[in-house]
Amino acid sequence: MADNFTATAFYRALKEEGQIVGVKCQACGHLSPEPRPMCPICHGFDMVSHRFSGKAKLDTFTCISIVPVSMAAKGYGRDKPYCSGIVTLEEGPRISARISGVDGANPQNIKNGMDVVLDVADLDEESPSVAFKPA
């Protein structure tokens, strides 16, 4: 399924292979952790699968107390905020992610710039999401 560059394929790979499998543009080398059929930089269509190492640095984050319905169902809320943020992957591009293994009630202890690694230990079977934890 070389041309199946979709979110379905992305989350299937996350669940089954425990990796971020994105794409690389054959023409200009642009990397995207989100699979996409077309290069947003050179507008070419010659994309190939690319596996990311899962190593990253935390760029910025937030600790969310007013939570969406899906996170409330997992026990998060005012008394138990969760952390989400943006990380820069070792290969260069950024991605949005849950930040696991940190205390959302104590954001002063979470540091931008810290090394993080992909965390697939606690993937939700129904709706898997990208998570990183302190390295």
Partner 1 sequence: MTTVNKKRQLARQVSIVGAGLSQFGAFPEKDSRDLFVEAFKDMVQSMDQGFDIEDIEGAYIGNYSSDLFEHQGHTAPIVADWLGITPIPITRIENACASSGSALREGVLAIASGMYDVVLVGGMEKMTNLPTDGVTDVLASAADGLYEVPAGLTFPGIFGAIAKAHMDRYETNLDHLLKVGIKNHENGALNPKAQFQQTITAMMERRMARAQERGHTVPDYKTDLDFLNDPQANPWIAWPLRLYDCAPITDGAACVLLVADEIAHNFTDKPISIAGIGQATGKPLHDSDELTSLSAAKAAAQQAYDMAGVTVADIDLAEVHDCFTIAEIVATEDLGFFAPGEGPRAVDEGRTALGGDHPINTSGGLKSKGHPVGASGVGQVIEIYHQLRGEAGARQVKKANPTVGLTHNVGGTGGTCVVNVLRRES
The partner in contact with residue 109, picked from Zn ion, partner 1, none with C-beta cut-offs of 5 to 8 angstroms by kind, is none
| Residue 69 engages partner 1 in binding (rule: CB under 8 A) | yes
Quick check: helix, strand or coil at residue 72? helix
Q: Helix or strand or coil: residue 16?
A: helix
* Residue type present at position 135: A
Q: Minimum Å distance from CB 2 to partner 1?
A: 20
Quick check: 50 binds partner 1 (CB under 8 A)?
A: no
Residue 93: enclosing H or E segment and its boundaries? none
Q: Is 28 in the site for Zn ion (CB under 5 A)?
A: yes
Q: What angle do CA 76, 112, 66 make, to 5 degrees?
A: 25
Binding status of residue 4 toward partner 1 by CB under 8 A: no
Please name the residue ranges forming H helices in 18-84.
69-72
Q: Which is nearer to partner 1, 2 or 126 (CB)?
A: 126
Binding-site size, Zn ion (CB under 5 A) = 8
The residue count for binding partner 1 (CB under 8 A) is: 33
C-alpha separations of 35 from 3, 16, 23, 111, 121 in Å: 10, 16, 5, 29, 22
Residues binding Zn ion (CB under 5 A): 25, 27-28, 30, 39, 41-42, 44
Where along the sequence are the contacts to partner 1 (CB under 8 A)?
7, 34, 59-69, 71-72, 78, 81-82, 84-86, 93-98, 107, 112, 127-130
